[in-house]
Structure 1
Amino acid sequence: MTLLLMFGFGFVSGLRALTAIAAISWAARLERLSLAGSWLGFLGYHWTPWLLTLAALGEIVNDKLPKTPSRKTPPQFAVRIVLGAISGAAIGIPAGSTLAGIALGALGAIVGTLLGAAARARLVRGIGGKDLPIALTEDAVAVGLVLFLVQLT
């Protein structure tokens, strides 16, 4: 199950880069995920989940702006992979599987980025080029999926 969670949180990072790490920070803060004493212990600090949640909400708003670059451009893609790897590592730390978490989180982010972009483009074409309804649906999928995954931690 832990391996699927590592991949799953990475996948969410591919859909919305900051959503998974914000959820993991809340899990650590609420002591659902033990990161204290690790290199990711700061995710459980008092203000970290609040700041990451604000950043995640900002990302959701920014995603709807017309000049926002594709998630597949190198800087955006790299950030998703790094945050996916960190998310996977956070899930792996309590199980002593940090390296597996890094690898599976990064892989999940790659899959989430590519699959999310392809699905969004296809669905937008399918409804006549209207991006906003599909973007909002993708937001709901990312948030719903991460809430489900947190329940499994």
Structure 2
Amino acid sequence: MIMLALLIGIVAGSRTMLAPAAIAWAATRGLALDGSWLAFFGWRFTPWIFSLLALGEFVGDVLPTTPSRKLAGPFGARLVSGGVSGAAIGVGAGMPLVGLGLGLIGAVVGTLGGAALRTRLAVAFGRDLPAALVEDALALAAAAIVVFAL
């Protein structure tokens, strides 16, 4: 179960808000976070709020004015998202610091690896939109795996 923290970090590296949305949905399915500083993931409206933020990110990601995920601000946001989401999985497994570390590592892998994958796909497709949609689908699939595995 703790290795799911690495996977959710990779999701965060690809789509920042999708990782906390997945954790919030996992909390509605029984991920035990009560009594921890991450209990807010289990609040009634948290999954909906993060899901709306994730949908907004999916739209914003394909806009030509969206900055590179490798810039300090977007990269930092992905690290925070991956670390906190990984820590939530770690809390559920009784190893919050391990979850935090795996989430951070996954966020780095997802950020840099996702950018490289998208660049290669964009070259192969001859444009960016199909590459972005493939990356979205992969991130959604990975997030779903985390939600249903927890």
> Where on the TM-score scale, by shorter chain, does this alignment land: which range?
over 0.9
Tell me the TM-score normalized by structure 1. Answer: 0.95
How many percent identity over aligned positions?
51
Shift of 1:95: 1.8
* Partner of residue 43, structure 2: 45
Tell me the TM-score normalized by structure 2. Answer: 0.97
Question: What is the aligned length?
Answer: 150
Shift of 1:3: 2.9
* Partner of residue 71, structure 1: 69
* Partner of residue 139, structure 1: 136
* Partner of residue 14, structure 2: 15
Q: For structure 1, list consecutive stretches of 5 or more residues without a partner in the other structure.
A: none
1:1-153 mapped onto 2 (5 Å cutoff): 2-28=1-27, 30-128=28-126, 130-153=127-150
Is the partner of 2:2 in helix, strand or coil? helix
Residue deviations 1:57-81, cap 9 Å, x none?
0000000111000110000000001
Is the partner of 1:3 in helix, strand or coil? coil
Residue deviations 1:87-111, cap 9 Å, x none?
1100000221010111100000000
TM-align CA RMSD: 0.9
